[in-house]
Homo-oligomer: A and B are copies of this chain.
């Protein structure tokens, strides 16, 4: 098959899965960490910072953008990619119940 049955799950579950999936590749983790360090947000500098070909980095940026975790703004001749605070807040909020739950004693 290879096709996720999204219909069987709630919109929220699908959205959380989409956030997590977007972050589920080391190159995309590296991009997010780079943007979190506020070193720069120009696309070209991201490409330089990630040890993959330009086409591949562009593809990863597209996936992060599709998931909503980053947004791109045209900045003169280049593009500035930044974190999308709204989506990250939602991501954090969705993980909160589990982060809280693990503070309880384990059940078995």
Contact = CB atoms under 8 A, between A and B. Distances in A.
A77 interface: no
- What is the oligomeric copy number? 2
B107 A82 contact: yes
Interface string A67-108: 000000101000010110100110010010111011110111
A65 to B, nearest CB: 15
Interface in A29-63: 29-30, 32-33, 35-36, 38, 41, 51-52
A11 to B, nearest CB: 10
Given A36-B97, A36-B101, A4 B17 contact: no
Given A4-B27, A20-B22, A88-B102, 4 more contacts: A9-B30, A16-B26, A75-B108, A83-B106
